[in-house]
Amino acid sequence: MKLDPIIDVPLLNRKWLPVGYAFFPLPIFILIGSVFINLDLTDYVLDIGYGCWAAGFLILNLTKEKIEDEMIKNFRLQAYHTGFFWLLSGMTAIVAIKFASSFWGASGIPISATLILFLLNAYIFFAFQYQKYIAAKDSKTT
């Protein structure tokens, strides 16, 4: 079967790993820099953090492994499947808690698109890393 270019997601070269990791401390530098240029970002602090972390995890998720074989391809597919499951389960719980707590006047952290993107990419990243860890552990015991 010929792979359609619309569904073929190109993976990034491993040189992108430092760029992905650079996004994690970036919100701190943005907020510190905003103080020096008198830019008020207090309403956007969470979105800046979630957005940078989502971008970092996305780059890490799309970066090739040292060896991209069929097992890694299956791990990647399973990680996306697991990430979406965790996201849907977690968002259902968050929405239910927010709805129930609204009766007592509590509001909590707002649910935003950047929060959802961050959670999804983090879940996918950790599911993929967990699968690689289990496979490496299993290969050492046999």
Count how many domains the chain has: 1
Nearest to 49 by CA among 19, 29, 77: 29
| Within-domain flag for 119 | yes
| Within-domain flag for 32 | yes
Q: How confident is the model at residue 142 (pLDDT cuts 50, 70, 90)?
A: low
| Within-domain flag for 1 | no
| Within-domain flag for 118 | yes
pLDDT of residue 1: 60
Residues 6+ apart with CB under 8 A from 135: 71, 75
| Within-domain flag for 88 | yes
Whole domain around residue 63: which residue ranges?
A: 14-141
Q: Is the pLDDT of residue 93 over 70?
A: yes
| Within-domain flag for 117 | yes
Q: pLDDT tens for residues 18-60?
A: 999 999 999 999 999 988 888 888 888 889 999 999 999 999 9
